[in-house]
Structure 1
């Protein structure tokens, strides 16, 4: 049903965290997958690492999932300041829409409370009015999350997701990068419809 997929990630690791297993599955199926990060979060890089470390880590993570280099892009909006650049971000998303012409787009859940994530979701909904959109899950930011759609995954897909996240050497202190947590959430979502593993998404718009 979907062959050209675009993941909009506010920050460099959001796409992998929210739908890394799904990305791995789509790549395995031969689909064209693009991922765009709107910030390389230079303000969030720990002391002792280069300020642009997340740029390299993002590229390595996406390649681990199987994305082609030309399908990996970044912008340099300052983390936690997206609200000041809403129109610029919208214009960037519209350019991506016109260039890539995706038939499925992933954005953070509308119930995500992070201010940057809210901007990407709102502007994504404006830009992709005639395209199917799913909202991905980042539980530490979600007050609520409606598990209304699922992508069935296997063990290899989750292993690739974890391998991609391990590329983020600067972020390994984050509790949500814990390998047991990632396996557990995938198992929980799979159990909801009697599958081994899955990732779940909120339905923002589906065109059939």
Structure 2
């Protein structure tokens, strides 16, 4: 199978589905990530240009740890992504990439996420997948809350990630530009809390759960 991960920022792919990436790779599947921005505005005390370069390198390193086959950076402006993503040329480019890769499964942000950039990416991926009539099944993840009661009855994809916890942990350590921030530490802690909680719910040590869209 070919798995396509579509996210707004570097590190979103690991926080949201790092264990799933490692699992798919071990099963012999092809995993490709499309990252819409360089996340160049995430640190106030570092220039956007140098931060963008560092974050690209971090995502590439994390991808190698997890075994991902390819990472495609679109390089859209971080601070104005929600607006830039409305541009017809950008939308065509994304549609062309989806058609080119023709994935079996797409993993992307949830509309419940609350982050405008994340929801903008998710809506675009859904719209272009429908327009291009892709065969892909689209599943969403959420980086912010381990419990989404309104998703309980939705079809879900459950990936046993117990054996990949260390790989996910090592991949997240690659994002050194984010490590000093409290927000980053919170996101990492919440990601693993969610994984352990989903593991308990599904009889595993750890699990990543995605909801069919």
TM-score band, normalised by shorter chain? 0.7 to 0.9
When residues 183 and 62 of structure 1 are mapped into structure 2, their CA distance, relative to the original with a 3 A threshold, is same
Aligned to 1:112: 113
Structure 1 gaps, min length 5: none
Whole-angstrom CA distance in 1 between matches of 2:79 and 2:89: 15
Structure 1 residues 14 and 188: alpha-carbon distance in aligned structure 2, compared to 1, 3 A threshold: same
SS of residue matched to 2:79: coil
In 2, Cα distance between the equivalents of 1:141 and 1:113?
14
2:37 partner SS: coil
Question: How high is the TM-score relative to the length of structure 2?
Answer: 0.84
Question: In structure 1, what is the equivalent of residue 137 of structure 2?
Answer: 132
Q: 1:190 aligns with which of 199, 208, 211?
A: 199
Task: Kindly indicate whether residue 186 of structure 2 is the aligned counterpart of residue 176 of structure 1.
Answer: yes
In the alignment of these two chains, the number of paired residues is 199
Which stretches of structure 1, 4 residues or longer, exceed 3 Å deviation after superposition? 140-145, 180-183
- Native 8 Å contact 1:111 1:142 kept in 2: no
1:156 offset after TM fit, Å? 2.8
Q: Equivalents in 2 of 1:103, 1:93: separation in Å?
A: 17
Q: Secondary structure of the residue that 2:68 maps to in structure 1?
A: coil
Structure 2 gap ranges (5+): none
Shift of 1:64: 1.0
| Mapping 1:86-105, distance limit 5 Å | 86=86, 87-105=88-106
Q: Distance in 2 between matches of 1:54 and 1:145?
A: 34
Q: Tell me the TM-score normalised to structure 1 length.
A: 0.86
Tell me if structure 2 keeps the 8 A contact 1:65–1:164: yes
CA distance in 1, matches of 2:146, 2:206: 22
- Match of 1:169, SS? coil
* 1:38 maps onto 2:36 in alignment: yes
* Root mean square deviation, CA, Å: 2.2
Shift of 1:123: 0.7
Distance 1:6 1:41 in 2: 20
Q: After superposing the two structures, state which structure 1 stretch, 22-31 or 155-164, moved more.
A: 155-164
- Distance 1:145-1:51 versus aligned 2 partners, 3 A rule: farther
| 1:156 to 2:163 alignment | yes
Alignment match, 2:66: 65
